Structure 1
């Protein structure tokens, strides 16, 4: 399962569920998105975020990424690990299956920074 984020100007960014789910959890925990918006962004339906929301996300990620290790991954529960993903499926601990890499969060931050008119996730 994957999502496409697209600005009104046609710039797009694709993301898979493994990176998107922990990203949404991070944004909800930070207070940038409410639970309803986070839930809607987790479905493959068109959800629009404003330019102001995109800029707030970019600013938050600037601060967040400043302290994250370059090889880090943010797990679904919010903890950061540095060991490489083995891509093993953990049936007993699904939170370990999902991780937003620092590389992904950096690309998402850069996308949000340029999304001054907002973007649609679908």
Structure 2
């Protein structure tokens, strides 16, 4: 499953569920998304993020990523690890399958910086 983030200017960014779900959890946990918006963004339906929200997300990620190692991953529970992903499917604890890499979060931050008019997630 994947999502596409599109700006009105025509810029696009694609993300898979493994990176997107912990990203949404991180943004909700830090008050950048309300629970209803985070839930909508987690489904494959068109949901808009305003320019103001995109700016707040970008500013948050600027500060947040300063504390995440380049090889770091943010897990679904919000913890950060530098342990490499083995890509093993953890059937006993599905939450262990999800992690937002620091490189993904940096691309998302840059996308949010450029998305001055907001973006649509679908």
TM-score tier, shorter chain, comes to: over 0.9
Pairwise CA distance, 1:92: 1.2
Pairwise CA distance, 1:93: 1.1
* Structure 1 equivalent of residue 28 of structure 2: 28
Q: Look up the SS of the partner of 1:57 in the other structure.
A: helix
In 2, Cα distance between the equivalents of 1:121 and 1:61?
18
- Across the aligned residues of Structure 1 and Structure 2, the Cα RMSD in angstroms comes to 0.4
Report the TM-score when normalising by structure 2: 0.99
After TM superposition, what 4+ stretches of structure 1 lie above 4 angstroms from structure 2? none
In 2, Cα distance between the equivalents of 1:80 and 1:95?
14
List gaps (5 residues or longer) in structure 1: none
* Structure 2 equivalent of residue 107 of structure 1: 107
In 2, Cα distance between the equivalents of 1:6 and 1:26?
21
List gaps (5 residues or longer) in structure 2: none
Report the TM-score when normalising by structure 1: 0.99
